[in-house]
A and B are shown apart, each in its own frame.
Chain A
């Protein structure tokens, strides 16, 4: 795989979105470096979720640009952004509940050659079978890695919240995007699982997937990120390594202070 040697994984410039009279995202600009874990934090209502929706195509921005691999992707529909190699997760796990865990993982990879109607009918040839078999083997390996092997024939909807998060991580691994945006991966998850999530994120980096992670759990952010972006009121108010932000007055005021005071 050839990755561009220079340039960030994602570059956001002046992204803006209004809902009625409320500005949810206000001229938001930031970069996520290639091959690193970028944290995106901020108080509730800071516009993080909206920003992710705008970047991933689930909402249309009013203005601003989003550059992924040097290409403008703002305004593209979600599936095209996903096909370019930018995949996102959601605040609540969105597994395909009626499908098994294994099927969830296999179907995480979009396969243009084999997903058409006719390839389903005529795809009985040897090459087709071999490819399907390869895919199955790979999915099994990924499930092993996440400790989900024993659950692979279980319907994903029957899993616990933490297990669903792991399925989501396994799906990302299968899809192997160049950038993944994780939306609150620790939400509703047993803290014991935190270390496993952190290792999984390191695994993404090792396999060539850059990561943006939105999270309220600051110890987790501290543990996994190289670089943190702080949003408040729809815009970026600070960025830098997590350590440097502890002493930033704006950040303490907007976000960390909120927790200190509580």
Chain B
């Protein structure tokens, strides 16, 4: 029982980071109807920015701020240099999917040229674990979970209460209609990418400090899990995505810890991606609009 709760505790931490990454991804999807495959690189750049600032200033809050800012600027640059022009040019979502895959590859390799491909160690002292309710969490984990909740609350406020949030929702629901009613869809999309980038950059920072090291390829691997969470929650639905992230995050931590005999051992955590994609395939096949809506489609319907 104790071990199970411990695992669940890790699951909550993973889920928090995943929720941040997935909500950032889904915000971008919502305003453009395009899956940004280079989303993972926002996290990676956030991690590098945090690392560099942390090294120079020794301040974790400064590192977090740098990560968010770097992420925001990266996402904005992605929108204005690739995604926006492609949309303007009338490219299909699949074409933009491929283009952002290419962009992701460019960024990864540029990062390798600048920083090298080897692991960057980013170890912070997590502090002594404390008993929080039924879970055992160290102060770092606590900060991650609390900050994820805080960001969610702020995001909820922005989306539901501000003028920008209203415009964002309008563009997400119907780009053309939004344009007719005088909303500058391009500017709203750019601002949304910046906002999503802030969140994703910060997610990159907390992911790096949780894992303890990272490489230029680190964000891409996490993107694949992010994609699972976002699809499970319903692409483009911010809060459904968060729920999807919590489920996927916990499943990813819990399944490898299950005492399922699997060729001489238990299912190793290295199968994470395989498990994530197993979930993804099932969701897409049986609940193509996400776990929380009930609609099956055929090719023609």
Interface residues of chain A, those whose CB is within 8 Å of chain B, are 53, 58-60, 78
The answer to whether the Cβ of B89 comes within 8 Å of any Cβ in the partner chain is no
Pair count A-B, CB < 8 A: 7
**What is the minimal beta-carbon distance from A112 to any residue of chain B, in angstroms?**
22
B265-301 to A contact mask, C-beta < 8 Å, 1/0: 0000000000000000000000000000000001011
Interface size in chain B (residues, C-beta < 8 A): 3
- Return the chain A residue nearest B295 by Cβ: A20
Interface residues of chain B, those whose CB is within 8 Å of chain A, are 298, 300-301
Complex: A58 Cα to B298 Cα, angstroms: 9
Chain A contact residues: helix, strand, loop or mixed: loop
Report chain A residues within 8 Å CB of B301: 58-59
Report chain B residues within 8 Å CB of A78: 300
**What is the minimal beta-carbon distance from A183 to any residue of chain B, in angstroms?**
14
- Return the chain A residue nearest B294 by Cβ: A20
Complex: A53 Cα to B298 Cα, angstroms: 13
Q: Nearest 7 CB-CB pairs, A to B?
A: A58-B300, A59-B301, A59-B300, A78-B300, A53-B300, A60-B298, A58-B301
Report chain B residues within 8 Å CB of A53: 300
**What is the minimal beta-carbon distance from B260 to any residue of chain A, in angstroms?**
39
Report chain A residues within 8 Å CB of B298: 60
**What is the minimal beta-carbon distance from B295 to any residue of chain A, in angstroms?**
9
Of the A-B pairs whose beta carbons lie under 8 Å apart in the complex, a sample of 7, sorted by A's number, is A53-B300, A58-B300, A58-B301, A59-B300, A59-B301, A60-B298, A78-B300
**What is the minimal beta-carbon distance from A216 to any residue of chain B, in angstroms?**
23
Complex: A78 Cα to B300 Cα, angstroms: 10
Complex: A15 Cα to B301 Cα, angstroms: 18
Complex: A103 Cα to B298 Cα, angstroms: 28
**What is the minimal beta-carbon distance from B11 to any residue of chain A, in angstroms?**
36
**What is the minimal beta-carbon distance from B297 to any residue of chain A, in angstroms?**
11
Report chain A residues within 8 Å CB of B300: 53, 58-59, 78
Complex: A184 Cα to B301 Cα, angstroms: 20
Report chain B residues within 8 Å CB of A59: 300-301
**What is the minimal beta-carbon distance from A81 to any residue of chain B, in angstroms?**
13
